[in-house]
Amino acid sequence: MKSLFILFFIMSVALFSEEKVIIDSDLTLEEAIKGTTATIDVVQSLILMNVEYYSIDNKIHRGQIVVNKIAESDLKIVFAKMRELKFPINKMIPIVKYNWNDSSSMEDNNTSAFCYRNIAGTNRLSNHSFGLAVDINPFFNPVVFKSGSHDPKNAKYDTKRPGTFNANHELVRLFKELGWRWGGEFSKYADNHHFDLIVKDK
């Protein structure tokens, strides 16, 4: 009888905990890449990660991100550290929900990875095209150009705000230890929300 009570208690706690999680995205991989113009070899390299994180409401949310298989283990480490630090992620929804419009996703402060597109202003594919780059809280961590303008243009970069990065941030250091670049250290502009993994022969 006692063991049945313990089992019931454990199940109740699990169900209660599950109810507290706010679902931001609940797609299949097929749904998350629907309409992409990526080549078949790229598509076959992608996976869909379910990630739980603290959002800006200080509650646990569950979102999703499409990444390259070779980035999965690193990102599991980073997302676990984010949750441990209670680093807030506004939302995490595959860009298919924004009709593959990266600007719309950024304006909505959406954290994302895979998006088959060129680097802005060039004819070269972005590392996002291979699921090897992640943009985290882009409205909190905008691109800052040498002119002083920002992208998204109405964003403000305030490193004192929760959910932002700076060169000494523990998460920036962790990404770099895992072999990723932080866009905040790019020479032509500071892409503060961007982290990417450089892999030869993608």
Alpha-helical regions (H) of the chain? 2-20, 29-32, 40-44, 72-85, 102-107, 170-177
Cα 88 to Cα 81, 129, 166, distances in angstroms:
11, 25, 15
Q: Pick from 43, 188, 199: which is nearest to 120 by CA? A: 188
**pLDDT, tens only, 72-105:** 999 999 999 999 999 999 999 999 999 999 999 9
**Residue 174 reports pLDDT greater than 60:** yes
Q: Report the pLDDT averaged over residues 35-42.
A: 97
* List of domains in the chain: 21-197 (3.30.1380)
Contact present, 52 and 62 (Cβ < 8 Å): yes
**pLDDT, tens only, 144-161:** 999 999 999 999 999 999
Which residue in the block uniquely carries the two structure tokens 């040498």? Answer: 146
**Residue 111 reports pLDDT greater than 60:** yes
